[in-house]
Amino acid sequence: MIKVIQYNRIFLYRSGILTLTNLIIINWLLSVGFIPVSSLEVEENTLFRYDNSFIQAFGVDFTFAETVNLYTSIKIRETKAHGVFFDPYRTDFTFGAEVWHKGFRLGASHECDHDIITDNFFNDYNGLDGAWTDIYLGWTNHFKISDNISLAPVAYIGYRPVDHVYIRPVTDTENYFGTKFIHGNYHNTIYGRTGVSIEMFKYYYAEFLFQPEYSIEKNEWSSVRGHIVTEGRYRNIALGIDWKMQKRFHHIAYAMNDFMIYVSFKGKTSLL
């Protein structure tokens, strides 16, 4: 007979089979934000500004036995139309999968940003499409500085086989779907990502990430990325500031900056 020992909702079978009542965990995030400053500078002479727009985001991930994680998210950016801020101009999709083991993460992800045109009307916020595919290996761990303060350094190495950016001429509607657009790509890119996050008293969180990238295809440093997040938390609600930057040096050199103020709602539940 198999003897069952119950401890903290975990059932261990002496036969070697492990069954968890929380075998599958689902985490979800809903975020609403305002973007006062966002810009795209192309080849140092063309500047697109996406200021004063709203962004809505929804993300969900499924964790299986604290080993396999599947995740996806969608972000919708909206600008002003007819007196209200509900005219979407871009949607960003992300999905991926990871395998976890003792602080290490092996994963793959894909992000694609798609232009949205409403009522067959182009505006200054239209014109950008992009796609990125990543394969990465990362490590992170939490270190307690005190009972109420913890640090979590992160270190990643990644490989990006696909990197596409399309910038379309919204002032020339006839060629928007034609061939007169700027297209840049960096295939076979490797990168390193380093940074740290800090959590204090469960009410404050901050994250700093830096990511240089090198193109094997072009044998040159291709770009650099940075990400800073700081937020105050209370239970499942967070109020924060998010800043992202990317500077690509060659083959459609551009600089992208996003500054966002947001409020987010998080949840977690067990499916089994």
Structural domain boundaries in the chain: 24-270
Q: Give the residue among 23, 50, 20, 48 at the shortest CA–CA distance from 34.
A: 50
Locate all alpha helices (DSSP H) within the chain, ordered by sequence.
none
Say what the pTM is.
0.85
Write out pLDDT tens, residues 151-183.
Answer: 999 999 999 998 888 887 776 666 676 666 777
Q: Is the pLDDT of residue 16 over 60?
A: no
Output DSSP code: residue 172: -
CATH architecture entry for 24-270 = Beta Barrel (2.40)
Q: Tokens for 189, please give them.
A: 């890119």
**With 0-12 CB in 10 A as exposed, 13-18 as middle and 19+ as buried, what is 2?**
exposed
* Ramachandran region, residue 219 (left: φ > 0; alpha: ψ -120 to 50; beta: rest): left
pLDDT band at 3 (very low <50, low <70, confident <90, very high): very low
71-124 pLDDT, tens digit per residue, is: 999 999 998 766 666 789 899 999 999 999 999 999 999 999 999 887 777 777
The single residue listed with the structure tokens 């198999």 is 2
Residue carrying the six token digits 């990543």: 134
* Residue 54 CA: distances (Å) to CA of 2, 73, 153, 239, 242: 57, 17, 31, 15, 13
